[in-house]
Structure 1
Amino acid sequence: MLAWILVGGRLTDAPALAALPRPDLVIAADGGARHAALLGVKIDLWVGDFDSSEGLNVDAPREQHPTAKDSTDFELAVNVARQRGAGELLILGAFGGRFDHAFALALGACRLAREGLKVSLHSGDEAGYPLLPKVPVRLDLQAGQIFSVLAASELRGLTLRGARWPLTDSNVPLGSGFTVSNEAAGGMLEAELMGGVALLTVLEEMRRA
């Protein structure tokens, strides 16, 4: 089951949104509910402490949580999706907004992938995919499309095929800029990793960062 998790970051009205797989379940995390109109979906459940939803009127069942809590609204939304049987998560509005929220969300997405869920992130103009050991990421990209491999730990044995600057069994330090702003050669981009955890991000339009 595919669940869309709507979060409060940037969501750009871009052609890539129309190509996304349609959800079986839509859970909005607090201010992420504002994205439902652009996406043309009905929210099945709206969760959070609602501190970022002022003036937002959405016709959806609400699950209220206190502001003083141990989980982010994103984590609350994911918990609901998993309880309802979702094995695949598409997180929309994942980039932009407050850096602490975006950073925690990106790392959380990698953790969820390590727990066995299929996870991807999207903001219309940008997408992200957790990259884990022996779980390759394969994407059909246009020549010149910009992608980065962001090392969330020390990376061991990173291999990139179908890239302008390919790599074979390379080690990458935590947070290194070595694998930022590569370009697809056109066709299938393949990324494989032997150890560590990373997030592979893609700009949906061919432009320089």
Structure 2
Amino acid sequence: MEKKIYILAGGPPENVPDLAPYAEDKRAAWAGVDRGVLHLLKQGIIPEMAFGDFDSVNQEEWDWINRKLEHIRKFQPEKDETDMELALMWAISQDPDVIRIFGATGGRLDHAFTNVLLLVHEKALQFKGKIEMIDRQNLVEMFLPGTYTIEKMDAYPYVSFLPLTEEVEGIFLTGFKYPLENRHIVRGTTLCVSNELIRDFGTFSFSSGILMMVRSHD
């Protein structure tokens, strides 16, 4: 049976997708990060783990969290890692097949960029399962060199590939509206932005670098 861990961070609730379909997945364990714990409880989801300094909740909310949860890892605000990093490293250590992160984008740009860049943390890149960062409009994944097949998703029709390293070499795109054959792209260029799948499945591959895939809708 596939093992999944879903993490809700404390980003703006209006940027979080409807969690009800994910909550129905009985194979998934939930973790909350700081104010994300509160949002989970308000939706009737009891996380197995909670992480944070909880400086974003008031005393009444903190008391409620304490009553509802058994496993809380509370940290001092002054620390080297962000609450989200601590939660992600815990999730990776549980060796699931899939990690999905919600509530990690929107609001402050420094928080959003930091959370996205956690997907290229050494431990995240070495992780053998899948890590997805999802909000109401986007789904983000990171890839190391190789060949990958992706399925067309009506919810996210647009597919963009962005180089996270200085250069990504040997890109092939098959089954896309704008195919590519053995192209090199450098960081800061827009060649692979806003493509679309024209078949039920498409294939992409590349030979070096780190590639971020963003699947989006308008």
TM-score by length of 1: 0.83
Cα separation, 1, equivalents of 2:48 and 2:84: 15
Unaligned runs of at least 5 residues, structure 2:
none
Note the C-alpha offset of 1:172.
0.8
Equivalent in the alignment of 1:163: 176
- Two-structure CA RMSD over aligned residues (Å): 2.7
* Cα deviation, residue 76, structure 1: 0.9
Work out the CA distance in 1 between the residues paired with 2:18 and 2:28: 22
1:67, distance to aligned residue in structure 2 (A): 0.5
* Structure 1 Cα separation of the partners of residues 91 and 36 of structure 2: 15
Match of 1:148 in 2: 160
Measure how far apart 1:146 and its partner are.
1.2
Segments of 5+ residues of structure 1 without an aligned counterpart are none
In the superposition, relative to structure 1, how do residues 138 and 38 fare at CA in structure 2: closer, same or farther (>3 Å)? farther
Instruction: Tell me the CA shift for residue 84 of structure 1.
Output: 3.6
Residue 32 of structure 1 corresponds to which residue in structure 2? 36
Question: 2:16 is matched with which residue: 5, 11, 16?
Answer: 11
1:157–1:193: 8 Å Cα contact kept in structure 2?
A: yes
Based on CA coordinates, which of the two structures has the bigger radius of gyration?
2
Partners of 1:149 and 1:200 within 8 A in 2: yes
Alpha-carbon distance in structure 1 between the residues aligned to 2:8 and 2:156: 29
Alignment of 1:1-209 (within 5 A): 1-9=3-11, 10-13=15-18, 18=21, 22=25, 23-36=27-40, 41-54=45-58, 56=61, 57-58=64-65, 59-60=68-69, 61-111=71-121, 112-117=123-128, 118-134=130-146, 136-142=148-154, 145-153=157-165, 154-203=167-216, 205=217, 207=218
Deviations 1:147-186 (A, max 9, x none): 2112111111112122111111111111322212222224
User: How far does residue 144 in structure 1 lie from its aligned partner after superposition?
Assistant: 8.9
Displacement of 1:143 in angstroms is 10
Decide whether aligned partners of structure 1 residues 34 and 180 sit closer, same or farther in structure 2, where only a CA change above 3 A counts.
farther
**Inter-partner Cα distance in structure 2 for 1:107 and 1:137:** 23
Taking the aligned partners of 2:6 and 2:155, their CA distance within structure 1 comes to 29
How many residues are matched? 203
Q: How far off its partner does 1:21 sit?
A: 8.5
Q: 1:142: how far off? A: 4.1
Query: Which of 174-183 and 138-147 deviates more?
Result: 138-147
Give the TM-score normalised by the residue count of structure 2: 0.80
